[in-house]
Amino acid sequence: MDDWAVRAEGLEKRYGEKRALDGFDLAVRAGTVHGLLGPNGAGKTTAVRVLATLRRFDGGRAEVAGVDVARDPRRVRGLIGLTGQYAAVDEVLTGRQNLEMFGRLFHLGGRRARLRAGELLERFDLVGAADKGVEGYSGGMRRRLDLAASMILAPRVLFLDEPTTGLDPRGRGEVWDAVRDLVAGGTTVLLTTQYLEEADRLASRVTVIDRGRAIADDTPEALKDRVGGDRIEVVAAEAADLPRIARTVARVCNGEPRVAAAERRVHAPVSDRVAALTEVARTLQDEGIAVEDIGLRRPSLDDVFLRLTGHATADGDGEGTEPQTEQATAADKDKDKEVAAA
């Protein structure tokens, strides 16, 4: 495989009159985590399903691990893993039994399935709970077991569709650690997520998709720079001091300061961050202006997301259950079933 684990050019997918993918382009470098972000109904899950050969596409071309998705879907399936939004493990079985079952489903045979299950339990730090029923697992443990199941055949490319939906912070951290370990072992990960912090922590590159098209593709830091780089923020103790604070900030910022009166906050972009903060803090102190908070802020991916798409992030993507903008006609679904069964 060359430098690219996933390539898509001009992908199109229609559900009746709706265009779920409308000339979508994507390039994922091998051995990395690549984030795919977008508002509800943007086409994230449809893109993953197309690349994982679970959806037939109507135009364009795509390769996964160097294999053409349309021409050789069976071979693609042997090279990938897929983890959906919800854990697909059997709660009645133990963790070990789940992995052995998946191994047998992949035709590994009894002995190889047991060996592979043991390897994965160790890799995902589940040895202590291996022989306990999954019904007693925490959300993070179930997710790690689900990831382990997707690694039975050690895929070269792993598609993770909203892998931490519904998990608490500890569970999310456990999954993040597992993903980092996978990439360290050579697996390429394409990650769709509703948590922009997740993409910031894990992804070396991010593609933003909206209305079925890629509207931005860059590193998280470069995307943040598009919003305006560093900014200084001052929260006044008294609303009456906002005009004086704005004048002070204006001396060091790159543009006109913005005043959020309801929050008693003044903020503006700056280039020399340390010098700007020092001068503003000293001036406010000399003039006897009381503040509740003062500091430097980096733009977040939330800021980037809002600037690029015009939409705020939302809890839950909705695409996993075919949202209204991506509903398939009966004929489309029949075609897709044929592809999945091929």
SS3 readout for 220-255? HHHHHHHHCCCEEEEEECCHHHHHHHHHHHHCCCCC
Kindly tell me if the per-residue pLDDT of 52 is higher than 60: yes
CB 185 within 8 A of CB 191: no
CATH of region 230-297, choose from 3.50.50.60, 3.30.70.100, 3.40.50.2300, 3.30.70.360: 3.30.70.100
| Comparison of pLDDT for 306 and 102, the residue scoring more | 102
pTM for the model stands at: 0.74
The position carrying tokens 């959906």 is: 84
The position carrying tokens 């001396």 is: 251
Q: For domain 4-79+155-224+304-332, give the CATH number.
A: 3.40.50.300
pLDDT digits (tens, 9 = 90+) for 144-190: 898 888 888 888 999 998 888 777 788 788 888 888 988 998 899 99
Domain-by-domain residue ranges, the chain? 4-79+155-224+304-332, 230-297
pLDDT given at position 163: 82
C-beta neighbour count of 47 within 10 angstroms: 32
pLDDT digits (tens, 9 = 90+) for 251-279: 888 778 889 999 999 988 888 888 989 99
Kindly tell me if the per-residue pLDDT of 226 is higher than 80: no
- Tell me if domain 4-79+155-224+304-332 and domain 230-297 are identical in fold: no
CA atoms within 13 A on the CB side of 239: 5
Reduce the DSSP state of residue 87 to 3 states and report it: coil
**Reading across the β-sheet that carries 59-64, which strands appear in turn?**
18-29, 4-15, 59-64, 67-68
* Cβ-based burial of 86 (10 A; exposed 0-12, middle 13-18, buried ≥19): middle
CA 174 to CA 152: how far, in whole Å?
19
pLDDT given at position 152: 85
pLDDT given at position 133: 93
CA 209 to CA 232: how far, in whole Å?
30
When pLDDT is cut at 50, 70 and 90, the band that residue 319 belongs to is: very low
Segment 308-312 shows an average pLDDT of 69
Q: Which of 48-52, 96-100, 184-188, 328-332 has the lowest mean pLDDT?
A: 328-332
pLDDT digits (tens, 9 = 90+) for 75-111: 999 899 888 776 678 888 999 999 999 999 888 889 9
Kindly tell me if the per-residue pLDDT of 69 is higher than 90: yes
CB 6 within 8 A of CB 157: yes
CA 75 to CA 301: how far, in whole Å?
36
**Above pLDDT 90, what percent of the chain?**
51
